[in-house]
Amino acid sequence: MILRDDCRIMDDLDEIASLRDEFRLNEGEIYLDGNSLGPVGEASRRRVTEVIDVEWARGLVRSWNSAGWMAEPTRLGDKLAPLIGARPGEVLVADTLTFLLAKLVGGALELKKDRHVVLTDVANFHSDLYIVEAMAARAGRPVTVKVINRNALDDALDDDVALVMLTHVDFRTGEMLDMAGITKKAHAAGALMLWDFAHSTGAVPLDVTGCDVDFAAGCGYKYLNGGPGAPAFLYVRERWQGVLENPLPGWLGHVRPFDFELRYEPAEGMQAFVTSSPSMIALASLDGALDLFERVTMDQIRAKSLALTDLFIALVEDRLPGVFELVTPREHATRASQVALRHAEGYGVIQALSERGVIGDFRSPDICRFGFTPLYVRFVDVFDAVERLVEVMDSRMYRDARFAVRNPVT
Ligand SMILES: *Cc1c(COP(=O)(O)O)cnc(C)c1O
């Protein structure tokens, strides 16, 4: 039996507890949806205000030079690089995730012109599947996207596979894949490996260098707290720079953008993956959000994340035995920073819980998702969230008729 006081002691012992003060969170509300949209931090507000009031208002067009705006995509890439185990000069912040996947898939297919297959996972995020299909269809040669069950990867890997594209943490179940092992298998078959880190970056330690990953991309607005629609990032391993082409070239990826040349000539390094003007206000918000990660290690985040999810699972199983099916792996090695619970009336559960001040989300057809962001979620929050979940289930409030109609965003 876990008591609220036990949780309070865990908070007292938590060495990163003070980071919560950097966020603006609603009083009395428990936010367990930072895996979908991270909350706003004070540093983001400060940096956005600085860009608007100083760099834009006073500097005006001069700020492209004087405030270093042109270099922001690569500067923020270097700032983010340690979170994924990349080296300086291997990460760029730009666009949003689906666009970056298009760039990486399109470029990768040109590197393996003698191969005709892309392997991906049927449980992948739909946007990833749409964009990989679209890029394959435009490859200039027949390319088939094989949408397989990821457990059948070994059988599907042969010498016609150009690229394996997987999402490292399953957005529904929170299962984390074996990045090192799968990347090694893809390489053994002569294929390139592209990882989507949407639900990994800022949530779990990542080591693209040690795992020999070719390409990766991830979101800025989930665990990184960069703001709604924040710019995303892409990783291109050093060995592919100058080799991998950007299939969506634009003037700011040109080596001499202000020479207005008729022929495209890519810039060196990650700059070649810039297409158009950096979105400075959005980048400023992400810039501020990344400051927090300089005050904490990913190992500290991981340790607290596992403790939070362990606690949530234990409390749900203790207080609501048999009510939900645990979809997220119990094993630490394959669990990321969210817990997914299956319930036939999951949508109503999430809505009712939201009215009780606990924010999670719902993924069709029957998954209740709860994200645990160690930067601001406390152990007492986990305790209180489960107490409120018990109230929702015991009262059958989740069956209320007003939850029968779904909002556009679930
Ligand atoms: C959140 C998410 C996206 C979102 O992509 P955007 O283009 O940034 O809207 C894509 N893929 C996965 C796996 C995600 O979880």
Q: What is the pLDDT of residues 18-40, one digit of tens each?
A: 999 999 999 999 999 999 999 99
Convert 136-173 into a string of H (helix), E (strand) and C (coil). Answer: HHCCCCCCEEEEECHHHHHHHCCCCEEEEEEECECCCC
The token pair that represents 344 in the structure block: 């036939």
The token pair that represents 125 in the structure block: 């995020």
What pLDDT, on the 0 to 100 scale, is given for residue 410? 82
What pLDDT, on the 0 to 100 scale, is given for residue 44? 98
The answer to whether residue 206 sits within a structural domain is yes
Same domain, 186 and 265: yes
What is the CA(75)–ligand 1 centre distance, in A? 23
Residue with tokens 């088939």: 144
Same domain, 192 and 98: yes
What pLDDT, on the 0 to 100 scale, is given for residue 143? 98
| Distance set, CA 94 to CA 252, 273, 275, 408 (Å) | 12, 9, 9, 27
Same domain, 67 and 51: yes
Same domain, 88 and 132: yes
Convert 245-262 into a string of H (helix), E (strand) and C (coil). Answer: CCCCCCHHHECCHHHCCC
Q: What is the pLDDT of residues 185-217, one digit of tens each?
A: 999 999 999 999 999 999 999 999 999 999 999
Same domain, 253 and 356: no
Range of the domain at 339: 4-16+297-404
Q: Compute the distance between CA of residue 83 and CA of residue 104 in angstroms, rounded to an integer.
A: 20
How many C-beta neighbours within 10 Å does residue 191 have?
Answer: 26
What pLDDT, on the 0 to 100 scale, is given for residue 361? 95
**Which backbone phi and psi does 113 adopt, to 5 degrees?**
-65, -25
Q: Compute the distance between CA of residue 22 and CA of residue 6 in angstroms, rounded to an integer.
A: 25
CA-based nearest residue to 350, from 338, 340, 339, 362: 362
The answer to whether residue 21 sits within a structural domain is no
| Residue in 97, 169, 195, 199 to alter for ligand 1 test, most ligand atoms within 8 A of Cβ | 97
The answer to whether residue 268 sits within a structural domain is yes
pTM: 0.97
- Helix, strand, coil percentages for the chain (3-state, nearest 5): 45, 15, 40
pLDDT under 70 in the chain at which residues? none
CA-based nearest residue to 130, from 110, 147, 111, 114: 147
What is the CA(218)–ligand 1 centre distance, in A? 8
| Residue in 33, 36, 98 to alter for ligand 1 test, most ligand atoms within 8 A of Cβ | 98
Ligand 1 near 232 CB (within 6 A): yes
The ligand 1 atom nearest the CA atom of 128: 11
Find the catalytic residue in 23, 125, 171, 235.
125
Query: Ligand 1, atom 2: nearest CA belongs to which residue?
Result: 198
| Residue in 95, 121, 124, 125 to alter for ligand 1 test, most ligand atoms within 8 A of Cβ | 125
What is the CA(101)–ligand 1 centre distance, in A? 10
The token pair that represents 333 in the structure block: 């090695």
Nearest-5° Cα angle at 111, 261 to 279: 50
Ligand 1 near 171 CB (within 6 A): yes
Ligand 1 near 103 CB (within 6 A): no
Ligand 1 near 338 CB (within 6 A): no
Query: Ligand 1, atom 6: nearest CA belongs to which residue?
Result: 97
Same domain, 175 and 288: yes
What pLDDT, on the 0 to 100 scale, is given for residue 407? 85
Find the catalytic residue in 115, 150, 304, 369.
369
The answer to whether residue 193 sits within a structural domain is yes
The answer to whether residue 246 sits within a structural domain is yes
Query: Ligand 1, atom 15: nearest CA belongs to which residue?
Result: 198
CATH number of the structural domain spanning residue 308:
3.90.1150.10
CB within 8 Å of 116: residues ≥ 6 apart: 141, 142, 143, 144, 160, 162
Ligand 1 near 170 CB (within 6 A): no
Strand 30-31 with 117-121, pairing: unpaired
Query: How is 26-95 classified by DSSP, letter by letter?
Result: -TT-EE--TTTSPPPBHHHHHHHHHIIIIIITTTGGGHHHHT-GGGHHHHHHHHHHHHHTPPTTSEEEES
Same domain, 287 and 305: no
What is the CA(35)–ligand 1 centre distance, in A? 11
Tally of domains in the chain? 2
The ligand 1 atom nearest the CA atom of 229: 8
Ligand 1 near 96 CB (within 6 A): yes
CATH number of the structural domain spanning residue 256:
3.40.640.10
SS3 label, residue 263: coil
Q: 342 and 367 in contact (C-beta within 8 Å)? A: yes
The answer to whether residue 40 sits within a structural domain is no
The answer to whether residue 37 sits within a structural domain is no
Ligand 1 near 161 CB (within 6 A): no
What pLDDT, on the 0 to 100 scale, is given for residue 382? 98
Q: 106 and 138 in contact (C-beta within 8 Å)? A: yes
